[in-house]
Structure 1
Amino acid sequence: MSAPASAATLRKWRRYLADERAEAAVYRDLASRRQGEERDILLALADAEARHESHWLGLLGDRVGRPQRGDIRTRMLGWLARRFGSVFVLALAQRAEARSPYEDDVDATATMAADEQIHEEVVRALAARGRQRLSGTFRAAVFGANDGLVSNLALVLGIGATGVSTPVILATGIAGLLAGALSMGAGEFVSVRSQRELLAASNPNPDAQKALEFLDVDANELSLVYRARGMSEEESKAHAAEVMRDLSIERPADAVAEHEEIGSAMGAAVSSFLFFASGAIIPVLPYLFGATGFSAVIIAAALVGIALLGTGAVVGLLSGGPPLLRALRQLAIGFGAAGATYLLGLLFGTSIG
């Protein structure tokens, strides 16, 4: 007969029970904002968490005690799931699954530990769907915001370090905002539109099907089409012969690379413009509200630093990486560029002073 569970063990089991209940609720809340296959997958995850809940209920027996709340991170995740249900919440859920303590806990079964690892992969796959859907616009948004933050801070600090007046700094910052936002928007539109046109040029011409019935069956140049798409000579001849029999042209899945999800050109352009402008306005705010001199520099740098930390953390969360490291990396890169420009401005100001 096993020894009675200690008070510390009972507290741990109750905490696990509360966390499983909270995690199941998160998946049900996410499922309520989904349809079709994604909804079914999320509900299946909630059922799996309910099985884990039953394990802890079995160990506790009549010692369950008063219902407890899950940990703060799971409760916050549930709050976000009820209100947003976005890829951002799925990315957070992915990180939560990766923190499961069951693998090193003797009171959890090996099956439960394996479940949690698989849950992480399931949520990762669901989050990947959302990441793919927003990849083009999100890339433009993040790039635009960071470019606006860093480039305009560097511009404002560099000009300010030369010793010019506050109106000149303010005018320079606003000009940099408008010029950069328009340039980013136009560049992103041309980039995405050009990429789409290049991909479209690689699609087969549907009119080619009309030539099928007139092909020389013995020579059958259709096989060259499939060789050009990546098939071997033997595979292309066999496939061409099959097509001739069926009188239909197919696009072999193994011969044509899947197109990257790049989003719309206009969506990327508007996103770049708005996010560049939203980032670029931040270094100008102290001067707009009357700050001058070194105090304006400190305030601008502090505001941009907070924004860089925020964008870096968001990128880290959505990419499944550590948000703190991503935030600090973003901050170091941004401040490095702005600091170098400020020093050059000081040197330039001294040389003309």
Structure 2
Amino acid sequence: MDIREQTEDDFEHVQRIRKLAFGRVNEDAPRIEPGSRGLVAALDGRPAGVLGIGEYAQFFGGRAVPMGGIGGVAVDPYARGRGVASQLLDTALRTMREHGQVLSVLYPTVPELYRTRGWDRAGVFEWTTLPMDRLLAAPKPGTRLRAEPATENTLKALHECYVGLARTVNGMIDRRPPRVDVSKVLEMDTVSVLPGDDGTVRGYLTAQRQSDGGLKVFDLIGTDPDAQLSLLAELKSWTGIVENLQIRITDPGLLSFLTSQQLRYDVGRSTWLMRVVDLPAAVAARGWPTHLRDSAVDIEVVDETAPWHAGRHRIVVEDGSVRCEPGGSGAVTMTARALGPWFSGMHDTHALRRAGLLDGDPADAALLDQLAAAPGVPRLADFF
């Protein structure tokens, strides 16, 4: 089997394989997406499997950590069961490490495949759906802010408003170019911004009208309660026009407004899996609590697929910073599958131990929980 980087000449083969796997493809997609690279697995010179890697960065502890977003993994039916997908993933790990992507995230269609290669559940992607009449019970803003339609001139401030929120929610991507083209937001049916001082945006709302009569809200982000409630007030104006409202949960704090009057609502949840590609580099890249006293924990990483970081390490807290260095006693054993949920803060060491992904004295593992304890469930608000 030959695995190589995708070229423009592979486009027709890639489209055919993905259409077989997923039932449809984007006919207008560029041959190679900006900010992406693809891998092709060939059998007897014929493309038999494909995989895409997007260039992203996720916020953890307030810092954007380089991440490779895996998507579009597909294998031609005749080649399935021959290890094509596994070898694509193994090659993708090496490729991401070479490009400084110290984390990897994907939305699984076949979870067991990815778990065997070290990915595991590390966060959620959520929508909430509620009837429009339920929205009327949401609180009113103390001061109703006046919205304006977004323009090219407000895109930079709109993106800065998003990043201001995303930086405080573990797992959110920073929507950096070229993988994310912020200007695409202007193609949505409605994009409203709340102007702030000095050219800033205090909040914004993006939404699309749906063929089933509903309204789908992609982002509702406000920097303060009046901004959030003013945007909710704009949504109330759709009462009588649309029956149902679907809101992507970009800001988990928004739910406190939507449910403060015991509103009935449904939440749809997708799970994303994470894998730590390079543990020392990932530890160096993210933000950590600064209040911890100087201490250390010795771990042993069991990771056959990423041997470059397998073995014994010491995670050291010193002078308010955290580093991962080689050595130590290996008092706590962590599998590759344990690293992602621990790093994201999705699961503590007690849960990982019960799942058989971590072993060692709980007292030795206590520092790991102090380091990665997340303020809320890690989440993404983008799909790839």
TM-score (norm. length: structure 1): 0.25
Determine which structure has more spread, i.e. the larger CA radius of gyration.
Answer: 1
Higher relative contact order (CA 8 A, sep 6+): 1
* Bigger fraction of residues in helix: 1
* Higher share of residues assigned strand: 2
